[in-house]
Amino acid sequence: MLSPLAATLLILRLPDIGVAGYWRLQELLDHPLQLLDLPTQSLRSLLKSPAADMLSQFRSNPEASEIGRKLAADLAYIESQSNLQCLVYDDPLYPRLLREIPRPPPLLYVRGDPTCLSLPQLAIVGSRNPSGGGSENAERFAHYLAERGFAITSGLALGIDAAAHRGALRAKGKTIAVMGTGIDLVYPSRHRQLAQEIIDSGGALVSEFPLGTASHACNFPQRNRIISGLSGGTLVVEAAVQSGSLITASYALQHDREVFAIPGSIHNPLARGCHQLIRQGATLVETAQDIVDQLAGLFSYKRQELRAAPPQEDLFVTTTAENIAEPELDQHEQELLQALGYDPLPMDLLAERTGLDIGNLSAQLIGLEIKGLVQQIGASYQRTS
């Protein structure tokens, strides 16, 4: 009897299945994993001949079959990696925002801390060949937002992606890199050290692609939907009109997420994509605080919505507000919540209790507000629960 992880790995290894085929099976069966128990004749009505033949061979002789050997190699690799987890769709750690997109990844490979995938996230994307000002904007925005409690999500690519990851790291914040390769490969290879720094800082590398998947051009639009799906909003820093960054922004709009764009010179070809997004309704931003102001209320509202929602059936698991992962708090945030107590407290009295200056105190309160744990009432702050 295969475990849910092994069964999912097996199905996704079948030819011509992929994510779309997996969810097509969901429409035809009570659960895609039922495929493994169907009689041979039924298999041929659901799968193309190569996939049906491969699965039939596995049933007859798992160890000797081609897909059985691949499955054994996958499981052995996963078992050997102490910092690698695989989240199937019904895993409690699977990020809820990503569940909301059409045809989400049935399986996520996560190297690093999987709990950071449920933090409030902002995606920052843009050109692989940005201007000096574009790189500086990406790093500064990421630094500011990471200091205020956002995890910064991007694609580990050259240019804007790398600048965004580094800005978050410089702020000692969390950053998430969504990869267009298997989790066992880093592309571009020059970013191996950056990938390790992301893991060491408490962030994560994420991929939905099978182990050993190389960097094919067709992978990156698929990767971009995960960047958008994990995030409450997407910031486009610099992008040409025809670019992968605009694909990510398009996914964000489809997923009903916020899209932000930094305007630039009319003479800069890398500003044209941002200007096009602004014409289409993206929010023009000049400072990172513009994003904080817009997303803080959104995340607080969504958190209250989850807490108030009655239990409901997900595709494979009953999910309630109680089993949604609580945001991770550092020691300073825990101490601040303890000092705040449960009654509204003015900023000056809270500063006196904590010994913090108003600037640091304000930054920490914004971070807690983004996480949905405090709210501002007039000139005072209060816990939300």
In CATH, what number is assigned to the domain containing residue 283? Answer: 3.40.50.450
More confident residue, 285 or 367: 285
pLDDT at residue 208 in the model: 97
* DSSP 8-state class, residue 327: P
Q: Are residues 242 and 215 in the same domain?
A: yes
pLDDT at residue 326 in the model: 54
Q: Are residues 290 and 337 in the same domain?
A: no
Measured CA to CA, the distance from residue 251 to residue 23 in angstroms comes to 19
pLDDT at residue 311 in the model: 46
Q: Does residue 73 fall inside a structural domain?
A: yes
- The boundaries of the domain holding residue 47 are 4-80
Q: What angle do CA 290, 151, 240 make, to 5 degrees?
A: 65
pLDDT at residue 380 in the model: 78
pLDDT at residue 357 in the model: 72
Q: Are residues 127 and 220 in the same domain?
A: yes
Domain finish residue from 48, 80, 112: 80
* DSSP 8-state class, residue 160: H
- Number of Cβ atoms within 10 Å of the Cβ of 330: 13
Q: Are residues 216 and 71 in the same domain?
A: no
pLDDT interval class at 303 (50, 70, 90): low
Span of 12-16, 40-44, 269-273 with lowest mean pLDDT: 40-44
Q: Are residues 203 and 284 in the same domain?
A: yes
- C-alpha distances in Å from residue 115, one per residue of 93, 155, 202: 7, 19, 9
Q: Are residues 341 and 232 in the same domain?
A: no
pLDDT in tens, 219-239: 999 999 999 999 999 999 999
Which residue in the block uniquely carries the two structure tokens 């399986």? 107
Q: Are residues 118 and 251 in the same domain?
A: yes
Domain finish residue from 295, 316, 339: 295
Q: Does residue 92 fall inside a structural domain?
A: no
Domain finish residue from 26, 53, 80: 80
Number of compact structural domains in the chain? 3
pLDDT interval class at 309 (50, 70, 90): very low
**Token pair for 105:** 């990844």
pLDDT in tens, 162-174: 999 999 999 999 9
Instruction: Evaluate if residue 134 carries a pLDDT over 80.
Output: yes
Measured CA to CA, the distance from residue 47 to residue 370 in angstroms comes to 45
Q: Does residue 322 fall inside a structural domain?
A: no
- Its pTM stands at 0.78
Which residue in the block uniquely carries the two structure tokens 């807690």? 368
Q: Does residue 118 fall inside a structural domain?
A: yes
Q: Does residue 306 fall inside a structural domain?
A: no
Q: Does residue 64 fall inside a structural domain?
A: yes
pLDDT at residue 324 in the model: 36
**To the nearest whole number, what is the mean pLDDT of the chain?**
87
* DSSP 8-state class, residue 174: -
pLDDT in tens, 245-255: 899 999 998 88
Which residue in the block uniquely carries the two structure tokens 């097509």? 24
Q: Are residues 285 and 338 in the same domain?
A: no
3-class DSSP state for residue 319?
strand
pLDDT at residue 374 in the model: 82
Beta-carbon contacts of 280 under 8 Å, excluding residues fewer than 6 positions away, are none
Q: Are residues 193 and 335 in the same domain?
A: no
Span of 72-76, 97-101, 299-303 with lowest mean pLDDT: 299-303
pLDDT in tens, 336-369: 888 888 788 887 788 888 888 765 676 677 777 7
Q: Are residues 61 and 197 in the same domain?
A: no
Q: Are residues 111 and 253 in the same domain?
A: yes
Helix intervals (H) in the chain: 4-13, 18-28, 40-46, 49-60, 66-80, 96-99, 132-147, 160-170, 192-200, 219-230, 244-254, 272-279, 288-308, 331-340, 347-354, 358-370
pLDDT at residue 332 in the model: 82
Give per-residue burial for 166-179: e unless 16+ CB within 10 Å, then b: bbbbebebbbbbbb
Give Cα 193 distance to the centre of its chain.
21
* DSSP 8-state class, residue 130: -
Measured CA to CA, the distance from residue 89 to residue 11 in angstroms comes to 14
**Token pair for 77:** 């690799």
pLDDT at residue 83 in the model: 96
Q: Are residues 193 and 285 in the same domain?
A: yes
Q: Does residue 149 fall inside a structural domain?
A: yes
pLDDT interval class at 61 (50, 70, 90): very high
pLDDT at residue 85 in the model: 97
Q: Does residue 209 fall inside a structural domain?
A: yes
pLDDT at residue 36 in the model: 86
Instruction: Evaluate if residue 110 carries a pLDDT over 90.
Output: yes
